[in-house]
Amino acid sequence: MKLVICEKPSVAKAVASALGVTSRADGCFEGNGLIVSWCVGHLVSPMDAAGYDPGYKKWKYDDLPILPEPFRYVLAKGKEDAFQNLRHLMEREDVTELVNACDAGREGELIFRLVYEMAGCQKPFSRLWISSMEDAAIREGFQDLRLGAEYDPLYQSALCRQKADWLIGINATRLFSVLYHRTLNVGRVQTPTLAMLVDRDSKITMFRKEKYHHVRLTLGGAEAVSEKIAAPEEAEALRAACAGAEAVCASVTREQKKEAPPRLYDLTTLQREANRVFGYTAKQTLDYAQSLYEKKLLTYPRTDSRFLTADMAETASVVLHLAAKVPPFDGCGEFFPDVSLLVNDKKVSDHHAIIPTLELEKADLSELPVGERNILLLVCRELLCAVAEPYVYEAVTATFTCGGQTFTAKGRRILSEGWREIDHIFRASLKEQPEGEAEPAALPDFTEGQLFDQVEAAVTEHFTAPPKAYTEDTLLAAMETAGKEEMPEDAERKGLGTPATRAAILEKLVAAGFVERKGKSLIPTKAGINLVTVLPDTLTSPMLTAEWEQKLTAIARGEGDPAAFMAGISDMARELVKTYSHISEEGQKLFAPEREAVGLCPRCGKPVYEGRKNFYCSDRSCRFVLWKDDRFWTSRKKELTKKMVADLLKKGRTSVKGMWSEKKGAAYDAVVVLDDTSEKYVRFKLEFPKRKEGVNGR
């Protein structure tokens, strides 16, 4: 009997159905010599620091660095029953081997292995590695189960990633939180990502726009533009020289250009495009794609490949024709797809590019939630575009001389829309059109030496533009290259995080209050900017962090040394603690809580702030203070509130309802008057609407 362990119940149900395991039992499906059960995500987690030593509950500098050896694990809270169910199934005498059917990736490997280790299981296990949840793909995967040991390097990579995140997260967070007296969440990948956002925000803030000018000539039904001119008087002089003068066409160049069709989506490019077109966050796109995968309509989404393998060509051809029947693509007309454009075995590692599945034929897209339908249509469009003809156009550049200067006009003549015809049909079907750059219009047929009389000339004023704030689209691109502006297409990527983890990283930054969304833009908050300001390069450098990520990838391929990797991370933690033992007074001010003055001190005129037990004057030499537990208030069973103090400081009085009289055993309303005589203690007195005489009290 084989025990098949999936990552979640919905996947287990699909696997059981595909394999004909129809009998539902407690916590599993059983039949056909198989038991199919499930985890609920991560069932086993690294132990918290306090689990190693109760003294670690309190954050202290002297305890750092915390470097557990060995690492210990605990059951995730609330998931004990799921673990006990799996352990019970593993221990059944009729279970002779296991199948790891968790997601085919680094985290899926870790989820299964930690449960296997925690349960103390020693039975042999194999690995199900599939890229589609279609019944046929599941059955084929079970016909080709792989040895579990083949994925030991992937498991080691996952362990190293988890331990590194723990070591840097725990030690750096505690270190800088203790030094700055407030919780500062530091993460191995999220902090350099935040640093890129802060760097871009700084460039925008420091940017100083500069004015420049163009002189524009209108001639022969087109517009020709001068080079940039800084001085307005120089631009005006050129305009005056050209207005009504003669212009000559000095040259006309025509160059045929081709724009190859786009490649298929990997997860990052799908997330970027969905953000551009629909405004979806990276997490939303991943959630929609994952749901479509579990509904058998999309292949595995957490991939970094944009190609298919040669053995998929026949299936891809069938899927192509299915996609061409899906509205709005059913209006594309005849086209002759070149499936070979999709295939490159060398550029497919664990999973191929994202494409629809054969289930598309039976799918009713109108029944899908809007977000899922949009993502599926986006993937269909990309598949159809990827096999279409190139977009071909003629780029035309004409230069003109007038007033002793050269002017340029550029245009474009479309020769073949190619793949862009499909893209136009898709975009026309959208309710809201995504932003895009206007394309150059076609130019008249200018000829060299052609003369133009009485040309019109005008000066236009322009300003240099600041860098644009990151959107999820552009930040994902920057994370993929660790902030490098340009990277050769075939270069080995040294990115921040992985396609599967980047969405979660962005959400953590937002949840921690370090980043906020403003429209499509991602803007660092003051807390985020201050955090990056005080942290060292070892924690904020995108390239250094990308080097660590590359080492994790090497470990997963069996080419890296896990022990050396962890030694490097431990050394980094030790060096951080050794280097940062105290901070400057200026540094402390960065994280001083922003205080709002309640009012002005009646004695010295300085701001009065609220403390935990009182309201106090900000001038330490001034002794003005209002105590929250002053007997005047406690004896009357009233709490001195911020609003009451604001009234007392501004008007000298505040109306209070429901004060208690011990003598009469009843509540009453009165006006409390601030009767400050500049003595050690502040006094109050009561006034009643119908009684002018005061009752003194403290």
Q: What are the pLDDT digits (tens) for 62-93?
A: 999 999 999 999 999 999 999 999 999 999 99
Q: Which of 289-298, 408-417, 529-538, 680-689 has the lowest mean pLDDT?
A: 680-689
Torsion angle of the four alpha carbons 387, 390, 391, 395, in this order, in degrees rounded to the nearest 10: 160
Can you tell me the mean pLDDT for 487-512?
Answer: 77
| Angle formed by the axes of helices 562-579 and 542-556, nearest 10° | 160
Strands 125-127 and 97-101: parallel
Cis peptide bond upstream of 542, omega within 30: no
Interatomic CA distance for residues 521 and 512, integer angstroms: 17
In the chain, % of residues over pLDDT 90:
73
> Which residue out of 180, 280, 293, 300 is catalytically annotated?
300
| Residues 6 or more apart whose Cβ sits within 8 Å of residue 69 | none
Structural domains in the chain plus CATH codes = 2-160 (3.40.50.140), 162-205+471-588 (1.10.460.10), 211-260+392-463 (2.70.20.10), 267-388 (1.10.290.10), 599-697 (no CATH)
Interatomic CA distance for residues 373 and 103, integer angstroms: 23
Active site residue 300: yes
pTM of the model: 0.80
Interatomic CA distance for residues 252 and 506, integer angstroms: 49
Go through 664-680 and write b for each residue having 16 or more CB atoms within 10 A of its CB, e for each that does not: eeeeeebbbbbbbeeee
Tokens of 626: 């209002």
Which residue from 326, 257, 270 is spatially nearest to 299, judged by alpha carbons? 270
Confidence at residue 182, expressed as pLDDT on a 0 to 100 scale: 82
Confidence at residue 590, expressed as pLDDT on a 0 to 100 scale: 76
pLDDT one-digit tens code per residue, 392-442:
999 999 999 999 999 999 999 999 999 999 999 999 999 887 776 778 899
Interatomic CA distance for residues 671 and 664, integer angstroms: 18
Put the strands of the sheet holding 625-627 in their side by side order.
Answer: 599-600, 607-610, 614-617, 625-627
In the chain, % of residues over pLDDT 70:
95
User: In the 3-class helix/strand/coil scheme, how is 264-287 assigned residue by residue?
Assistant: CECHHHHHHHHHHHHCCCHHHHHH
548 CB burial (10 A radius; 0-12, 13-18, 19+): buried
Scan for tokens 């460039």, then name that residue. Answer: 203
DSSP-assigned beta bridge partners for residue 463 = 211
Confidence at residue 678, expressed as pLDDT on a 0 to 100 scale: 67
DSSP string, 296-360: TSB--SS-----B-GGGHHHHHHHHHHHTTSTTGGGS------GGGGB-GGG-SSS--B-B-GGG
